[in-house]
Amino acid sequence: MDLNDTPEQAQYREQVRSWLEERKAQAPPARGEMDDDGYLDARRAWQRTLAEGGLAGVSWPKDVGGQGLGPIEQVIVNQELSRAEVPGILDVIGIGMLGPCIIAHGTDEQKSRYLGPMLHGDEVWCQLFSEPAAGSDLAAVQTRAVRQDDGSFRLNGQKVWTTNAQFSSYGLLLARTDPDKHKHKGLTMFIVPMDAEGVTIRGLRQISGEAEFNEVFFDDVVVGEENVVGGIDNGWMTALTVLMYERVTIGLGSEGFGYRGDRFARALVDSPEARKDKEVRKRLGDLSAELLAVRFTGYRTLTALQRGQIPGPEAGLSKVTTVNAAIAAGELIADVRGPDALDESTEWAYMISFLPGLKSAGGTEGILRNTIGERVLGLPPEPRLDKGIPFSELRAKEKEAVAS
């Protein structure tokens, strides 16, 4: 692909830059306490401003409130937000991953009801996928959705590592509706109001001091059939749409997150010893090369998206590389700067403490490497005990295999 803006893209970039210059004084700080209602309200208001200016949902279709532009225009917006040093949208999960899933699989009524408030920050969403025993192996979810005589579903189970659940209005939940089917077949996706009776949210305190993640419990929560997204027992295919967008968002977002070799180099330049140290220079060179590779892989993915192709499993490799390179950068900065790197007043303390959590987001490294090996490189799959076995019999089969 041509890495320079086309005349049309250059014009769009100038339009976005001018718009941001006029309004950036209204923007809240890029970072703040997410349990501070005042800061959250400011971020919601800023997302609303961005949406009204056409800078949220850039690649969403026009008939659901988006701008109908391509992924390259979305990247231009992200770059200009970073250049203006203002925050982007608050609801990255909703607009970046769950909204596209509803656009692809939702009913007309669901699109009409939920996408507008999501776009304007009036209703933030969370992703209710991972469970204590079903994170890396998402198809092993045990949260049950049992159909009632009136057609509604009764939900029982637990989710964990749920980002933003504490202030979300809705969640997109994956639950098991038919345990007698193979574990990938008997799943269904539901829209769940987070204030529904029977929903309990508990924050998980991280080493950074924040409680960004949560565990969420569902005790006899009732939702209607109109809350099903993508069809009953078709939840795995619906979930794959979310996962593909999630991995693309994390992988392509390396520079948006600030994970760039030049930024990390500036953190080391004040140390004359580090500048001369061959090992430091080698470590910086290695991780910078990895991040540069992610950037160009991202350009290739953007080209595919621009041509109308959907994100493939190869997007997981960008996620793995980005996170590992950023963790290596944090370790290098800590080695050179010593305890000062962990001073909370610095930009590095948060990054170093935050990154281990990002390793699990969007699938663990082991799972992603397996997916890439099998579905991208065509390597033989790992031996599996669960193939063709109903989920309800799986645990007994696993115990039987261990005993033998």
Task: Using alpha carbons, list the distances in angstroms from residue 28 to 39, 90, 108, 308, 354.
Answer: 8, 11, 34, 35, 22
Catalytic entry in 212, 246, 255, 290 = 246
Pairing type for strands 170-176 and 125-128 reads: parallel
- What gap in Å lies between CA 158 and CA 179, rounded to an integer? 17
Alpha-carbon Rg of the chain, whole angstroms?
22
Is 123 considered catalytic here? Answer: no
> Cβ of 107: how many Cβ atoms within 10 Å?
13
DSSP code of 390? B
Looking at residue 145, its amino acid is: A
Supply the DSSP string of 301-330, one letter for each residue: HHHHHHTTPPP-TTHHHHHHHHHHHHHHHH
Helices 261-268 and 315-337, interaxial angle, to 10°? 10
Tokens (6 digits) for 259: 């994970």
How do strand 153-159 and strand 144-147 relate by DSSP bridges? antiparallel
Beta strands in 7-101, from DSSP E residues, in sequence order: none
Is the Cα dihedral 77, 82, 86, 89 positive or negative? positive
Q: Scanning the structure block, which residue is given the tokens 């090992």? A: 279
In whole angstroms, give the CA distance from residue 9 to residue 76.
8
Distance CA 191, CA 218 (A): 13
The closest alpha carbon to 30, from 71, 88, 70, 75, belongs to 88
Measured CA to CA, the distance from residue 300 to residue 72 in angstroms comes to 11
**Active site amino acids:** 246
